[in-house]
Structure 1
Amino acid sequence: MPTGARLMAAISLAVLAFILSGMVVPLMPESTDFGYFLPLNMVLGLVVGWRVMGRRAGRGTTAAINNGLAGVFVLMLWAIFLQAANEMVRLALRNRYDDPFEAIVAIFQIGAEFGVMIATVPMGVALVVGAVISGLLTEFAYNRWS
């Protein structure tokens, strides 16, 4: 059921995904073709905010902060997974894998490489601050419009 908290969670995570995606671009090699990187991450932020954070709003300030941290964690996991799967498909179309199992394992290897590339202090700070703000905004929306 649509609520103000779900809408606020979706919008705040989409904005955070936009900011974080902008921070990731300079961390990747120059030859990287980003394609639908930014829109995909923003849509993912909308979905995760709506489905994960929005449904758990209304439990207090501490729970709101935890809700924001959990939402951002899920957002990062899905974003890294989808980008790694996209990269695996790109490599598979160039016949880099001998069998399907090798390609599936490559998703997790590529995802781990992406995770190491973006594991920087500014990203960590942006993740934590964005998570806290998103959680508190979602809680505010719940208290205001519910």
Structure 2
Amino acid sequence: MKGISFALAGGFFLTFQSVANATISEGIGSWQAAAMTQLTGFVLAILIVLILRDRSYRQLTEVSPLYASGGMLAAIVLFTNMTAVHIMGVTLTIAIFLIAQLVLAIAIDGRGWFDMSQKRIGRTQIVGVLMMIVGVIVLKL
């Protein structure tokens, strides 16, 4: 239940962030909005680390450069998300983002990429993604 709660909260916050970033980018530009979002997120994360007195940051040198590049990927996610919201609106953008995430997640789970444990991918997962794609087509009508 705890995992579901965090996933729901993440989904809600992603949607709020998409709307806020698209609105901000209209005034200052998409890359500037992405930079501002990354900076404010960094500040909040540092504050939380300080409040929790979590000292695990001392192990940062042990993080693979591949995985440390996640922040750079986030900047691209922010830019593409803002641009898509401007073109298609929030609902369609989030729906297509979710499908893209699921397709890649299925590939990662099925292949065990990025040090993830390999999971069996069956027809039900594929059918679920296909149903989401049909749902997006219905949304688009």
TM > 0.5 fold call: no
Give the structure-2-normalised TM-score: 0.40
Q: Which of structures 1 and 2 has the bigger CA Rg?
A: 2
Give the structure-1-normalised TM-score: 0.39
Q: Of the two structures, which has the highest relative contact order with CA contacts closer than 8 Å and spacing of 6 or more?
A: 1
